[in-house]
Structure 1
Amino acid sequence: MAAPWRTRSGQISALKLAVFIALFLPALWLALRWGGFAPDLGPRPLMETIHRSGDWAVRLWLVSLAITPVRHLFRAAPLVQVRRMVGVAVFAYAALHFALYIVDLSFDLGKVASEIYLRFYLTIGFVALLGLAAMAATSTDGMLRRMGGRAWRGLHRLTYPLAAVALVHFGLQSKLEVSEPMVMSGLLLWVLLLRWPKARTGWALLPSVIAVTLATAGLEALWYSLRSGAPLMAVLSVNFSTGLGLRPAHWVAILTGTVALAALLWQARPGFANRGNSRTARAVRS
């Protein structure tokens, strides 16, 4: 088996090597904090590490889903080379998240199973983990050949609904502070919208930014209304003001708007429409 930073032809890929190293940085950061080099994990460092490893699993999951839309937006064909690597890293961080939870319960597997059964947010988190395990186990070229393209693609399309399930898990375990899960939910909606080719070309990008910004504001308002009984319209109005600082809808607008503007400028370059096809073919072969 070739090293993950090499192409199929055996050459070292600077992109793959850089991504491979970057994927270890969150784990290294957690290890350094745990080791006392930056002791800011609070009174329950193990629980804090459990949460942080899960956070990174969801963040990287979103990155893995964004690779294809970004590749199309910027005709960045080489990005296809790192999609599988990032996907496997998502499972690795999710597995670390679960393993540390088992450690926190003193390896009492009966207690672990009971907690997963009784607590809804743990149940759906475990479902997402099982889905990730299935996709990681079938991520190799050999499994693709054994399963056949149609069955393999059907399984791996589950990554989108499973990512949504993971975000619900993220929000529920975050209690009342759900800003990051809401931002990520808005970005996931944009990634899903950009799977439609007409939504990722030219000025069609701008309506998509507006749509996901409004959807994020509505989603956060609905969440707080259902969880705390706050008036829906009152919460919604807060999302359109900056009196309490930038809300998730604002961050989604800033992030998606920045990417959309960069894509518009990039797509305006001469010869953009003819770029990418040959590069995509070469990238897949790599």
Structure 2
Amino acid sequence: MALADRIRSLSPLHERNGRLSVLRALTFAGLVVPALWLAWRAGIGDLGARPWTEAIHRSGDWAIRFLALSLLVTPLRNASGWSKLVGLRRMVGVAALFYALLHVALYIGDQSLDLAKVVSEIALRIYLTIGFIALVGLIALGVTSTDGMIKRLGAERWHRLHALVHPIAILALIHFYMQSKLDISDALIMSGLMLALWICRGVSRHRIALSLPVLIAIAAGCGIVTALAEAVYFSIKTGVDPRLVLPANLMFEPVIRPAWWVAGIVAAVSVVAVAAKAIWFTKAAPALRPARSAR
């Protein structure tokens, strides 16, 4: 293989046929922007009084966001009929791994590179143990994400291995909740969105089309579940009757609550996906027969 062909085969910006993909290039740019923005903020001293802590949290936020985005690819493909989206899943998944590794690397830096202390902290603090297990799982998926590893493992074994992305996502959410302490708004939003993705996956497995009414129902249902989860959490923390907390979780003031973010994001993505299918991808394969995927 010529050097130029070899480079193109390894480039995340090229299709399998060697052609430069605008879609892949835009996706790659979107994936690296958070890291560049974080580096810029660090360079100008804009990370607050505790820059290491801020950088650790922001890198972890993007790790779980990109993990969720990798899980979104298949439901979005099923709803929109845009088959090329599947080719982006590996890139987004590797980005989630990169930000998770950055998250840990920054934590090690915050501990003055004292690896013995880091290992001790991971062993003694349950939320760090859970996060580390999730990281190990992501590394395993990342290492085996290449075409060569698919051939070595065989399609069946590879699919079984990469189905572990779902328990890994659950562990990542638990880690997110436990390190969030008092303000769990972001963790609740990510949980609601993940729930919507899993429901969409289950709907497709039962050969039910991801039509707009179905997707809107999922959006509303996940919003309600998110509101209930927030009410129960604060009830446990404060002892207040959750029936008194729930109305506050459905208000827009003083801030938009997680339930509305979940319902709004799921509904907005659903409308865009279904509209795209109606306008551009009507000739694509039906959503009732999605290609088999571990995600």
TM (normalized to structure 2)? 0.87
Is the 1:199–1:205 contact (alpha carbons within 8 Å) kept by the matching residues of 2? no
Give unmatched runs, 5+ long, in structure 2: 1-5, 291-295
Match of 1:8 in 2: 16
Is the 2:80–2:274 contact (alpha carbons within 8 Å) kept by the matching residues of 1? no
Segment drifting more, 261-270 vs 102-111: 261-270
Match of 2:162 in 1: 156
Q: Residue by residue, what CA displacement relative to the aligned partner does 1:115-162 show, whole Å, maximum 9, x if unpaired?
A: 112111111111110110000010011111111112211111111121
Segment drifting more, 158-167 vs 241-250: 241-250
Segment drifting more, 235-244 vs 135-144: 235-244
Give unmatched runs, 5+ long, in structure 1: 282-286
Distance in 1 of aligned mates of 2:250 and 2:212: 27
Match of 2:267 in 1: 257
Q: 2:284 matched to 1:275? A: yes
Match of 2:180 in 1: 174
Match of 1:284 in 2: none
The letter of the residue matching 1:148 is: G
Q: 2:195 matched to 1:189? A: yes
Match of 2:46 in 1: 40
Question: Which of 26, 35, 40 lines up with 2:34 in the alignment?
Answer: 26
Alpha-carbon deviation of 1:264?
4.2
Segment drifting more, 193-202 vs 177-186: 193-202
Runs of 4+ in 1 over 4 A off after TM superposition: 266-271
Distance in 2 of aligned mates of 1:104 and 1:268: 50
Match of 2:251 in 1: 241
Question: Which of 217, 220, 232 lines up with 2:242 in the alignment?
Answer: 232
| Equivalent runs, 1:87-236 vs 2, <5 Å | 87-195=93-201, 196-197=203-204, 198=208, 200-236=210-246
Q: Secondary structure at the match of 2:198?
A: helix
Is the 2:82–2:284 contact (alpha carbons within 8 Å) kept by the matching residues of 1? no
Q: Residue by residue, what CA displacement relative to the aligned partner does 1:37-65 show, whole Å, maximum 9, x if unpaired?
A: xx331111111111111111111111111
Match of 2:293 in 1: none
Is the 2:83–2:284 contact (alpha carbons within 8 Å) kept by the matching residues of 1? no
Distance in 2 of aligned mates of 1:138 and 1:53: 23
Alpha-carbon deviation of 1:268?
4.8
Distance in 1 of aligned mates of 2:66 and 2:103: 13
- Identity of aligned pairs, percent? 45
Q: Residue by residue, what CA displacement relative to the aligned partner does 1:12-34 show, whole Å, maximum 9, x if unpaired?
A: 11111111222111111011111
Flag the 1:28–1:268 CA change in 2: closer, same or farther, 3 A.
Answer: closer
Flag the 1:88–1:268 CA change in 2: closer, same or farther, 3 A.
Answer: closer
Distance in 2 of aligned mates of 1:111 and 1:118: 10
Alpha-carbon deviation of 1:171?
1.9
Is the 1:203–1:264 contact (alpha carbons within 8 Å) kept by the matching residues of 2? no
Flag the 1:229–1:194 CA change in 2: closer, same or farther, 3 A.
Answer: same
Q: Residue by residue, what CA displacement relative to the aligned partner does 1:230-264 show, whole Å, maximum 9, x if unpaired?
A: 43222222212334321100111111122233344
Alpha-carbon deviation of 1:199?
5.8
The letter of the residue matching 2:156 is: R
Q: Residue by residue, what CA displacement relative to the aligned partner does 1:79-104 show, whole Å, maximum 9, x if unpaired?
A: 11111011011101100110111111
The letter of the residue matching 2:23 is: L
